[in-house]
Amino acid sequence: MTVSPPPPASAGLVNEPLVQLPPASHPDGTSALNGDAGAAVVPPTDTSFLERDVSGRSVEELCTAPEIYNRELSWLDFNWRVLHEAKDPRNPLVERLKFLGITGSNLDEFIRKRVGGLQRQRAAGVANLRLQGWTPEHQLDLIGKVIDNFRDQQDDCLLQDLLPKLADEGIRLLSYDDLSESQVGDLRNLFLQDLFPLLTPLAYDPGHPFPFISNLSLNLAVEVRDPRTGDVRLARLKAPTDRHRWIPVGPPNHFVSLVNVLLNNLDTLFRGMEVVDAYPFRITRNATLVRNEDEADDLVEMISDELQQRRFAPVVQLEVSDRMPRRVLGVLLREFGLHDQDVYRVKGVLDVAELFNLANLIERQDLKFPSFRPQIPSGFAALSPDTSPDDMFRLLSKGDRLLHHPYQSFARTTQEVILAATRDPKVLAIKHTMYRTSDDSAIVAALAAAAGAGKQVAVLVEVKARFDEELNIHHSKRLEEAGCHVAYGLVGLKTHSKVTLIVRQERDGLRSYAHIGTGNYNAKTASVYTDYSLLTTNEDIVSDVMHLFNYLTGYGQSLEYKHLLVAPINMRDRFIEMLEREIEHCERTGEGHVMAKVNGLDDPRLCEALYAASQAGVRIDLIVRGICRIRPGIPEVSENITVLSLVGRFLEHSRIFYFANDGEPECYIGSADWMQRNLDNRVEAIVPLLDPKLRDEVRDMLALCVHDQRNAWEMRSDGSYVQRLPAALAEDSPDSEANAVRGAQLTLMMQANQHSLY
């Protein structure tokens, strides 16, 4: 239907400032992150409570002292590096908006997990007795200041940098003041037809209890006045969760926020009342719950109950519009049981993570990364769902195949191998681990179909994978109903390994094929996460994988593996043995070299072994994306250690371990980080690359990362990070075409394009 434009807003009702452009951008393009956007940036976190000068400290103290390493702060430092990508002018403008959105998503998860956990400890009266004053309350206070600073920088990045630059390119977030009368009318029609039926305003007064507020939902606290009595009352309005937060209007790439559409149509929801004003807000609930698997009769039932509890978990944070008056904020604080330090007043957008979705709506390919199509490796290009599965397994039987995503296609390699197995009449059994996958997973559908066709299909589904529990339970029920044997892992351990085993009847008997990887069986994340995987028929490795599945699905207690490193059974000890072996080689020959690429490193025993290797003269290159306990460059302790963090277009996710081993190098890939949780509390699998060509290929890739100048941040001995080649210096680089200046990711993309079979 067509209606006339809405009446003028009531006094006090204004456009929400989160969509208004600032008066002017910084004329010199300076960054909120310590000055010039091209400067080498040390994340400006308040870390004065951590010890920076650790020279003279013992190795034991370096590996265990809480005043030297703080996990929460180390994680936040990683998010500062991501935020810098949003400020870096070398990145395309729309991609910078995506990076900013990623920082918001990361921060939401951190607050749910880490801040929520600390608040639970505070409520329980827990204190760290090893460090005087190191209480959860103290940590929350310190971390809260860092988060507030971070959010201020997010707001500044958006309002002072990105929005003005986007506007210069004809991409605008409009307020209602910017709209024509006809555009306002169009939005009124859209509201009445597509939003109004979904909205339920809920009053709050003595006769109406405060409504339930769901986690991370967008809400309006609406003040209305009764014209008969003059009384001002409060109501809550929840924005629909299944509608885009950004609504196209007018010319291409012009948008109005859903918040502003709701704000300017409240008169339709509160007829007969005067809308005084409305203030957006959202809450974050605790994601950490106490779990006792030993007492659970049914793990799936226990996790399902936990998901229900999580919906009603305590609120740990409140974000509000910076216009919200104290009288309204006081009501929210009282109802959520929060204090002033749990509140953040937002100047930019209320949900920074939604900027990622906004970037996807912008139709300007020239302001995005150049399109990239993953390579199809030789041999796989001729294969498709229409070709005989015999062709696939004939290819795999010729030797080990190493796959590198996203530079090589996941769908046409790893996924197609599993799909071929599910439709191959010669395949008798398939065993598979599932940690995280997509809701429309082709692999899950194919495994269900294979079981329905009579194949033996066993799937280990990890229903404890954080934030994927509900989806994994859904997949497990679908697989069970199709006839799959579904197991849920071991009590007290998460199954994090990425392993598939295929058993096939061939002319000379049964033959098994194994796939072991560093990343999840997820076609969506495989396009943006860097991961390696190995396809092999090596009998010893296949035998190890069989024993691993027996350990996961039955009562098999295999403590001896010929090749696999399996946590929590033998992985830490084997790694320490390899580091000690490298020390022996170095003491005898003067040469030793270790390279490792992980997402996190905090295991005290491995850190102690790494320091010992450095003291013996072993050169150690660590590529650690996120949290890291190791301090490099300490005189007489870690002078031979380099710690890098790579942040770029793709999320660095692969776990790789290389040992020079006196001219007989060994290289391993797999699912585990060098984290205490991975080595003690998870079932992990790491496999050696036995083919020298594959080993050399991974070594060369690691060397690219070690020498990366574009995306690398290098840790200093005080624990802070500095960008190796900031934008301002990159312009003056004498060899801008060198691989180091291009960075590892771009170099690998170029190499993939050169070998592309499309």
Determine the 3-state secondary structure of 573 from DSSP. helix
Boundary-marking domain end, from 559, 581, 615: 559
DSSP symbols for 104-165: HHHHHHHIIIIIHHHHHHHHHT---TTSTT--HHHHHHHHHHHHHHHHHHHHHIIIIIIHHH
Half-sphere exposure of 192 (CA within 13 A, CB side): 14
Is the model's pLDDT at 6 over the cut of 50?
A: no
Q: Residue 139: phi, psi to the nearest 5?
A: -65, -40
Report whether 421 contacts 432 (CB < 8 A): no
- Point out the domain boundary residue: 524, 559, 594: 559
Output the six-digit token pair for 540: 């010893």
Based on the domain organization, do 417 and 531 belong to the same domain? Answer: yes
Asked if 577 and 505 sit in the same domain, the reply is no
Half-sphere exposure of 513 (CA within 13 A, CB side): 26
For the residues 682-689, what does the mean pLDDT come to? 98
Residue 276 within a domain: yes
**Three-state DSSP state, 75:** helix
What band does 502 get if pLDDT is binned at 50, 70 and 90? Answer: very high
Asked whether residue 361 falls in the same domain as residue 397, the answer is no
Residue 12 DSSP one-character state: T
Asked whether residue 594 falls in the same domain as residue 741, the answer is: yes
Residues near 678 by beta carbon (within 8 Å), at least 6 away in sequence: 496, 567, 603, 671, 672, 684
**DSSP assignment string, 510-572:** EEEEEEEESS-S-TTGGGTEEEEEEEE--HHHHHHHHHHHHHHHSS------SS-EEETTTHH
Looking at residue 580, which CATH number applies to its domain? 3.30.870.10
What confidence score (pLDDT) does residue 31 get?
34
Instruction: Answer yes or no: do 598 and 451 share one domain.
Output: no
451, two tokens = 């079981």
CA neighbor of 743 nearest in space, from 716, 706, 714: 706
Distance CA 116, CA 137 (A): 12
Structure tokens at 746: 């771009």
Q: Binning pLDDT at 50, 70 and 90, where does residue 555 land?
A: confident
**pLDDT of 39 strictly over 90:** no
User: What's the confidence (pLDDT) of residue 24?
Assistant: 30
Least confident of 460-464, 619-623, 631-635: 460-464
Model confidence at 50, pLDDT cuts 50, 70, 90, reads confident
Examine the domain organization and report whether 676 and 727 are in the same domain: yes
Entry pTM? 0.91
Indicate whether 81 belongs to any domain: no
Tell me: do 530 and 595 sit in the same domain. Answer: no
122 and 137 Cβ atoms separated by less than 8 Å = yes
Mapping DSSP onto H, E and C, the string for 579-631 reads: HHHHHHHHHHHCCCEEEEEECCECCHHHHHHHHHHHHCCCEEEEEECCCECCC
- Residues 92-133 have pLDDT tens digits of 999 999 999 999 999 999 999 988 888 888 777 766 544 544
Neighbours of 272 (CB within 10 A): 8
Residues 412 and 444 in one domain: yes
Q: How do residues 134-173 score in pLDDT, each as one tens digit?
A: 678 888 888 888 999 999 999 999 999 999 999 999 999 9
Please answer whether residues 646 and 652 qualify as being in contact, where contact means their C-beta atoms are separated by less than 8 angstroms: yes
Q: Residue 229 burial by CB count (10 A; 0-12/13-18/19+): exposed, middle or buried?
A: exposed
Q: How far is CA 640 from each of CA 612, 619, 623, 635, rounded to the nearest angstrom?
A: 11, 5, 14, 9
- Per-residue model confidence (pLDDT) at position 21: 31
- Residue 736's pLDDT is 56
The backbone torsions φ and ψ at residue 442, rounded to the nearest 5 degrees and listed phi first, read -65, -30
Question: What is the chain's percent helix, strand, coil content, to nearest 5?
Answer: 40, 20, 40
Last residue of a domain, one of 538, 559, 580: 559
- The pLDDT confidence band at residue 343, using thresholds 50, 70 and 90, is very high
* Tens of pLDDT, residues 178-237: 999 999 999 999 999 999 999 999 999 888 899 999 999 999 999 999 999 999 999 999
Kind of pairing, strands 202-204 and 232-238?
Answer: antiparallel
- Do residues 410 and 547 both lie within one domain? yes
Give, rounded to a whole angstrom, the gap between the first and last alpha carbons of the chain: 49
Report which of 519, 447, 442 is spatially closest to residue 476, judged by C-alpha positions: 447
**For residues 463-480, average pLDDT:** 87
Within-domain flag for 115: no
Residue 23: band (very low, low, confident or very high) from pLDDT cuts 50, 70, 90? very low
Residues present in the chain in total: 758
CATH number at residue 214: 3.30.1840.10
Asked if residue 101 is part of any domain, the answer here is no
Sheet holding 219-225, edge to edge: 202-204, 232-238, 219-225, 274-285, 315-321, 343-346
Q: Is the pLDDT of residue 572 over 50?
A: yes
Residue 61 lies in a domain: no
Asked if pLDDT for residue 5 goes beyond 60, the answer is: no
What's the whole-number mean pLDDT along residues 263-278?
A: 96
What is the predicted pLDDT for the residue at 141?
Answer: 85
As for how many domains the chain has, the answer is 3
Question: Same domain, yes or no, for 573 and 677?
Answer: yes
Half-sphere exposure of residue 88: CA atoms within 13 angstroms, side-chain side: 26
Six-digit token string for 665? 């190098």
- Burial call 39-57: b when 16+ CB within 10 Å, e when fewer: bbbbbebebeebbeebeeb
List all residues 6 or more positions away from 109 whose beta carbon is below 8 Å from its beta carbon.
Answer: 467
Identify which of 138, 143, 7 has the alpha carbon closest to the alpha carbon of residue 73: 143
What local confidence, expressed as pLDDT, does residue 8 receive?
Answer: 34
Q: State residue 28's pLDDT score.
A: 33
The pLDDT value given to residue 132: 46
Q: Does residue 548 form part of some domain?
A: yes
Query: What single-letter amino acid sits at 149?
Result: N
Q: What pLDDT is recorded for position 295?
A: 54
Could you give the residue numbers annotated as active site? 496
The Cα–Cα gap between 616 and 638 comes to 10
How far is 743 from 430, CA to CA, in rounded Å?
39
Query: Which value, in Å, is the radius of gyration of the alpha carbons in the chain?
Result: 28
Q: Pick the closest to residue 613 from 644, 588, 592 (CA basis).
A: 592
Q: Report yes or no on 611 lying in a domain.
A: yes
In a domain, 162, yes or no: no
Domain membership of residue 525 as a residue range: 389-559
DSSP annotation string for 638-674: TTTEEEEEE-SSSEE--EEEEE-GGGS-EEEEES--B
**Cβ of 562: how many Cβ atoms within 10 Å?**
12
585 and 471: one domain? no
pLDDT of residue 455: 96
- Residues 468 and 539 grouped into a single domain: yes
Confidence class of residue 46 from pLDDT cuts 50, 70 and 90?
low
